[in-house]
Amino acid sequence: MRLDAMFVVSRKVHQAIVVLAAAVVGGCSYNPQGGVVRSASLSNQIDLSEAFITPPPGGPEIIAVLENRYRNGLAQDILLENDTGIPGQNVIIVRAYGPMGAEAGIETLKTDIIDLHDIRNELRQQFPGIAMEMSGLYVQNRYGPFSYATGRSRNGANCVYAWQRIATEARVFSAQRGAITWRLRVCDKQTDMRTLVFLAYGMTVNGYFLSQRWNPFGDPPEPDPRIGKAGETILPQQVVDPTVVAPTSYGPAPVATVARPRTRSSAPVTTSAPPTVLNQPIEGAAIVPRPENTDLSEPRVEGSNLPSTGLSTRGGTVRVPSVSGVSGLSGDNARVRVIRPAN
């Protein structure tokens, strides 16, 4: 009985010590005046300039970048503009594998080996209610081959889902060279299907890992064997570098603004002043009567002092319009003289 009593007492003492220690730790960590509020999510929103992959110039605008860091790499969801009104978000999903160093997270990023079974599941999740058809054509951008699927929503929006894995070998880590996988989900009403697929050609990898051995792109290609070889002719046929992608025409076409012609202002109406009458007698002055039998008409010219031209004044007459006539022609009295050369 004595040993049992000692065991019970020691057990109660141990429990009291544990409770006291928990209270001390809790009291040290609790701040009754409040503190910094932290989110329970592992995703952190980072600056737009830190997007690991960016769309081509002229493509959809990046509106947010969410990032998770792991022991063996990082994951980013690069959110793009979207005004289609259909469920889902235009996004670039990036998984980059490499040595994280001091920025490593706690968890491990799952290996992302893309297969058709996973792609079919992703199509159903990313495009609910849209029949997406995978293309069997071989396509390749500057990082290597990629694949894509296309579809059209009920409200007329074109949709494209493209995916690619950039790695020198099948394994995620081969001598720690790393790998990059990305998926592009985009829908737009104003952009045609060909332009949406063309976005996958202009994807640019902007991020990298600070390691001399990290190189998922592989060794640089060998130069053209014709270079410097005698008897080979190289013409400047290819003007544009194939790795350069021209800006895309994503989104609504620019609206052509037509300048409205200026309305011509009506011509100013000028009112003529009443004619000034000259030689008007001054009020109150005496009026001198005009002499009787005074002819004020122009003098009649009987002859001409001009030299003779040898022209005869004989000939026909031409009718001229009458001021009062309805048809514009006058009677026989209104005639003008026509001078014709003499025979």
Q: Lowest-pLDDT range, 7-11, 304-308, 326-330?
A: 326-330
> Residue 183: which of 75, 84, 105, 107 has the closest Cα?
75
pLDDT at 36: 58
Please give the average per-residue pLDDT across 69-78, as a whole number.
94
Q: Give the best-scoring range by mean pLDDT among 1-10, 127-136, 323-332.
A: 127-136
**pLDDT for 334 beyond 80:** no
Contact between residue 182 and residue 93 where contact means Cβ atoms under 8 Å apart: yes
The two tokens of residue 2 are: 């004595």
Write the DSSP assignment of 44-107 as a string of letters. EEE-GGG-SEEPPTTSPPEEEEEEEE-SSEEEEEEEE---S-SSS--EEEEEEES--GGG--SS
CA distance to 103, 155, 257, per residue, from 254 (Å): 44, 22, 9
Please give the average per-residue pLDDT across 119-123, as a whole number.
94
pLDDT at 212: 84
Q: pTM for the full model?
A: 0.60
pLDDT by residue (tens digit) across 178-233? 899 999 999 999 899 999 999 999 999 999 898 888 989 888 888 888 888 999 88
The two tokens of residue 188 are: 């737009």
pLDDT at 84: 81
pLDDT by residue (tens digit) across 232-260? 888 776 555 555 565 667 777 666 666 66
